[in-house]
Structure 1
Amino acid sequence: MTRFIAYRREWSANPVRELLAGAVATFALIPEVIAFSFVAGVDPQVGLFASFVIGIVIAFTGGRPAMISAAAGSVALVVAPLVAAHGLSYLLAAGLLAGLFQILFGVLRLGVLMRFVSKSVRTGFVNALAILIFAAQVPHIVHGGWLNYAMLAAGLAIIYLVPRLTTVVPSPLVCILVLTVGATVLKLPVMTVADLGRLPDSLPVFAWPSVPLTLETLSIIAGPALAIAMVGLLESMMTASVVDDLTDTPSPKNMECTGLGIANVAASLFGGIAGCGMIGQTVSNVKYGGRSRLSTLFAGVLLLVLMVVLKPWVSQVPVAALVAIMIMVSIDTFDWSSLRSLIVHPKMSSAVMVATVIVTVFTANLALGVAVGVLLSGVFFAFKVSALLRVEADTDEARGRLTYRVSGQIFFASADLFIDAFDYQDAVGKHAVIDLTHAHFWDITAVAALDRVLQRFKAHGVPVDVLGLNEASSTLIGSLDSSGRLREV
């Protein structure tokens, strides 16, 4: 009942504000979706069909209100080889299977894995995506001639100056309206949306992917489907986390996993490519007031209306207007404060952020960039924790006793430090005591390290007592000590 009340609240918001914000996100979607369709090797209508369906379905099934999801570049990069080798039908089948994988991940509650993505990785992800969004606009900027530059400058001027006069209508919409009317009335020879590729001329139609239901087909699509599922979920989870930070509200990540899976299944059954969260368009939506599911729904519905019902008018929108919007999105997406933080934050955290940006930008692979960032975060964390291990020796000559007081965490990264901290030669002729009151053993490597220490003392004829082992460490040793040598510890 509580979840139902919360869900209903996610639809209640200022309708005018939500519709206008969703409209801005829609126009920000058009050039990227068309561009990503070319990357995937399919007609623009395949990406647009997907974006219609995903936007509408995920408005009801997703976990993060105000998030915009559509056909995305990360997924396009993954599926391009499949399309080139086997064609569109296998792409649709792979998208269908990927959606089922994502539903399964949501049911298994794998959304909690986002806890392992550090703030540095998230910042690097956002900055890299902002750079990629801007880079995608460069071809439209450099190959358009002086008139294109003039249109682009006018568009940016409108976007950034109109808010000083009024915020009733989002300035990107004013930009589109003014530049479209101006280009049409003056008959300016500029590139328009119609020049980007074939646009839909009908509504998407439900159809099962025309592939043979055989094990061979499964072997062809299984790998790409799993890659689509993982990349899509990663980008969606990262985008949801960004919106969480922007709005100071939480969102159920497992519900987002399941919702994206359902949306991708629907998109594949209606002839569209699989998709995921779109951070640039989402940031744009949130910036202009989108807070509820209504803005997400309207973005999908408006895209459908624009591309099918109003196609003759939308076809006349100058590409320069859309490029201006995307430049604004990239500027707003980039975390400019992170540049200043590079010299303030710990060097390891800054290194993780920079590495995430570099890998993502140079490979154009968001999943790889985040994976490298998470890996480096784990390595640096393990290094920092292992460096906290301390072993202090205290000799009682009168009693012939040598006490080692151990403090810190003993695990795979600190096990060798633990072993090397003992002076086995100095302990000869004494009685050694290892005090573990302030230490904790975490894994089988730590247990093996303790066994190694005891065996080295034994080899030098030194009797050893182990004191202060906490209950959790004792239980771990009892379950992992296959040799039985540590049972009496």
Structure 2
Amino acid sequence: MQLKTSLRQNWLANIRGDLLAGLVVALALIPEAIAFSIIAGVDPKIGLYASFCIAVVIAFAGGRPGMISAATGAMALVMVTLVKDHGLQYLLAATLLTGVLQIVAGWLRLGVLMRFVSRSVVTGFVNALAILIFMAQLPELIGAPWVVYAMVAAGLGIIYLFPLLTKAVPSPLVCIVVLTGVAMALGLDIRTVGDMGQLPDSLPVFLLPDVPLNLQTLQIIFPYALTLAVVGLLESMMTASIVDDLTDTPSNKNRECVGQGVANIASGLLGGMAGCAMIGQSVINVKSGGRGRLSALAAGVFLLIMVVFLGQWVKQIPMAALVAVMVMVSIGTFSWESLKNLGKHPPSSSVVMVATVLVVVATHDLAKGVFVGVLLSGIFFAHKVGRVLRVDSESTGEGQGRAYTVVGQVFFASADNFIASFDFKEVIQNVHIDVSRAHFWDITAVNALDKVVMKFRREGTAVEVIGMSEASATLIDKFAVHDKPDAVERMMGH
């Protein structure tokens, strides 16, 4: 019963919307797959086969219905050196290993690591991608004849105004069909999909990479495969989170990791390059009405049918029409609200978002941008939590003792403040340190407590630490030295 419900919900609940959205996505995938193949330094059919294969496999194996995966620019940038130095066969071998590593990541449940990526990083990632998508269209516009600008403007007009008439047909599809018809009818001399590269005229065939199976091959492909696996999962997890927000539905991140791996293994065996989820295409899919797994399957199948059997027609599609669609994606992907929030949100959040955007746009490397964003988020978080620590004190025993109460988190960022909160020069007989409302997190915190106890003992003051939580006590018992023999001598270096 549950299987039947899941089947209906994921495959049959939105048949018309999924099929039409899949057609739009397939049309938009063609020039991108060709362009990414050119970036990677391989034949256009390598990217097209990869996009068909990954889109179809991920429809069944992925953890996020409605998300589109195919050959991507982020992955293509990683492959350039491998292809240049060792050739296509080593790229196919690296693609297979990438898939294996991604499946292992899914089995290890590394999808949960997405919870460590803050909302500011995700927003920065999305904004950077929107900028990169727009920048990728500039070569088609710079130095182009005026008719290209007129076609792009007309395409954007159709995309944004046609839904006012009816939403039965996705406006990006109408844009592509109308502009192609106009270009063919008027015989316009402008760039078309056919000018991007030779389209394949046959179905992909199963093959194993022609590389020697030895340690040297592994040494060559492993660094690239590991980078591809990380970049692919990072972009896929980010895209899944964005589609989750767009559709207000959850997704299985660990299943998505495994699904991406299975799709890349299938791609490598059919002569395709490694790929991952595509934010731009996923946004096109969702905005065009795609919601279920059928949309990804339809995108892959339509893509193959169009490039192999309808290649003569697909070649006629003007690039201006696809530029208009991608500009729409860029505008729709960018979080315009984040610009308004720059002044409203805490400065640390804004810095993280802007830094993520700048690094991604500057390096064209999504992984580096996210790494910088996560690193800055961690630093700002540690700084904030470190400042929350408070140590109160009051005199006891008619001035002969003092009771300290520690409230907050003691770790590497707050350890110095913790030590500075105690008065070691006060002439008293005993000190009580109540840590029942504190937590000691790391070795730095343990070392800080050691220093406090040692300094008091060196001044001849008896120290008692009370209220230690079970988790803190486990760490203290294992690593602290203040309760060990000859602790004072060791601590003071005597």
Common fold: TM-score over 0.5: yes
The residue aligned with 2:389 is 389
Give, as a single letter, the amino acid of the residue that structure 1 aligns with 2:454.
Q
Deviations 1:353-372 (CA, angstroms, capped at 9, x unpaired): 11111111110000111111
C-alpha displacement at 1:246, in angstroms?
1.0
In the alignment, structure 1 residue 240 sits paired with structure 2 residue 240? yes
In the alignment, structure 1 residue 271 sits paired with structure 2 residue 271? yes
Give, as a single letter, the amino acid of the residue that structure 1 aligns with 2:190.
V
Confirm or deny: 8 A CA contact 2:429 2:460 kept in the other structure: no
2: CA distance, partners of 1:413 / 1:33:
47
2: CA distance, partners of 1:2 / 1:16:
24
What TM-score, normalized to structure 2?
0.96
1: CA distance, partners of 2:167 / 2:176:
16
The residue aligned with 2:430 is 431
C-alpha displacement at 1:2, in angstroms?
4.7
In the alignment, structure 1 residue 446 sits paired with structure 2 residue 442? no
Deviations 1:217-236 (CA, angstroms, capped at 9, x unpaired): 11000100011001000000
2: CA distance, partners of 1:264 / 1:223:
16
Distance 1:369 1:173, change over 3 A: same
C-alpha displacement at 1:294, in angstroms?
0.4
Q: Structure 2 stretches of 5 or more lacking a match?
A: 488-494
C-alpha displacement at 1:484, in angstroms?
4.5
In the alignment, structure 1 residue 348 sits paired with structure 2 residue 345? no
In the alignment, structure 1 residue 460 sits paired with structure 2 residue 459? yes
Query: Residue 439 of structure 2: SS of its match in structure 1?
Result: strand
1: CA distance, partners of 2:272 / 2:181:
32
1: CA distance, partners of 2:5 / 2:181:
45
1: CA distance, partners of 2:273 / 2:402:
69
The residue aligned with 1:85 is 85
The residue aligned with 1:110 is 110
Distance 1:4 1:78, change over 3 A: farther
Query: Residue 256 of structure 2: SS of its match in structure 1?
Result: helix
2: CA distance, partners of 1:208 / 1:482:
59
The residue aligned with 1:479 is 478
Confirm or deny: 8 A CA contact 1:56 1:300 kept in the other structure: yes
2: CA distance, partners of 1:400 / 1:415:
27
Matching of residues 271-290 of structure 1 within 5 Å: 271-290=271-290
Query: Residue 433 of structure 1: SS of its match in structure 2?
Result: strand
Confirm or deny: 8 A CA contact 2:204 2:271 kept in the other structure: yes
Give, as a single letter, the amino acid of the residue that structure 2 aligns with 1:122.
V
Query: Residue 10 of structure 1: SS of its match in structure 2?
Result: helix
The residue aligned with 1:194 is 194
The residue aligned with 2:20 is 20
C-alpha displacement at 1:482, in angstroms?
5.8
C-alpha displacement at 1:399, in angstroms?
4.1
Query: Residue 144 of structure 1: SS of its match in structure 2?
Result: coil
Matching of residues 106-255 of structure 1 within 5 Å: 106-255=106-255
Confirm or deny: 8 A CA contact 1:451 1:485 kept in the other structure: no
1: CA distance, partners of 2:227 / 2:70:
17
C-alpha displacement at 1:442, in angstroms?
1.1
Matching of residues 44-59 of structure 1 within 5 Å: 44-59=44-59
2: CA distance, partners of 1:7 / 1:400:
75
C-alpha displacement at 1:4, in angstroms?
7.1
Matching of residues 395-434 of structure 1 within 5 Å: 395-396=395-396, 398-426=398-426, 428-434=427-433
2: CA distance, partners of 1:475 / 1:249:
41
Aligned residue pair count: 487
What TM-score, normalized to structure 1?
0.97
2: CA distance, partners of 1:388 / 1:67:
41
Confirm or deny: 8 A CA contact 1:95 1:264 kept in the other structure: yes
C-alpha displacement at 1:143, in angstroms?
2.8
Confirm or deny: 8 A CA contact 2:18 2:289 kept in the other structure: yes
C-alpha displacement at 1:333, in angstroms?
0.5
Query: Residue 391 of structure 1: SS of its match in structure 2?
Result: strand
1: CA distance, partners of 2:59 / 2:363:
31
Confirm or deny: 8 A CA contact 2:454 2:482 kept in the other structure: no
Q: CA RMSD in A?
A: 1.7
Give, as a single letter, the amino acid of the residue that structure 2 aligns with 1:352.
V
2: CA distance, partners of 1:474 / 1:216:
49
Query: Residue 11 of structure 1: SS of its match in structure 2?
Result: helix
Give, as a single letter, the amino acid of the residue that structure 2 aligns with 1:90.
Y
Confirm or deny: 8 A CA contact 1:61 1:259 kept in the other structure: yes
2: CA distance, partners of 1:353 / 1:34:
31
Dislocated runs of 4+, deviation >4 Å? 1-5
Query: Residue 207 of structure 2: SS of its match in structure 1?
Result: coil
Query: Residue 405 of structure 1: SS of its match in structure 2?
Result: strand
The residue aligned with 1:311 is 311
Query: Residue 329 of structure 1: SS of its match in structure 2?
Result: helix
The residue aligned with 2:101 is 101
Give, as a single letter, the amino acid of the residue that structure 1 aligns with 2:30.
I
2: CA distance, partners of 1:5 / 1:463:
69
Q: Structure 1 stretches of 5 or more lacking a match?
A: none
Give, as a single letter, the amino acid of the residue that structure 2 aligns with 1:441.
F
C-alpha displacement at 1:393, in angstroms?
2.2
1: CA distance, partners of 2:341 / 2:328:
23
Give, as a single letter, the amino acid of the residue that structure 2 aligns with 1:464.
V
Confirm or deny: 8 A CA contact 1:155 1:175 kept in the other structure: yes
Distance 1:254 1:417, change over 3 A: same
C-alpha displacement at 1:460, in angstroms?
1.4
C-alpha displacement at 1:103, in angstroms?
0.7
The residue aligned with 1:470 is 469
The residue aligned with 1:371 is 371
Give, as a single letter, the amino acid of the residue that structure 2 aligns with 1:460.
E
1: CA distance, partners of 2:278 / 2:419:
49
Deviations 1:408-465 (CA, angstroms, capped at 9, x unpaired): 0011111121112212112x33422211121111112211110111111111111111
Confirm or deny: 8 A CA contact 2:75 2:232 kept in the other structure: yes
2: CA distance, partners of 1:5 / 1:368:
41
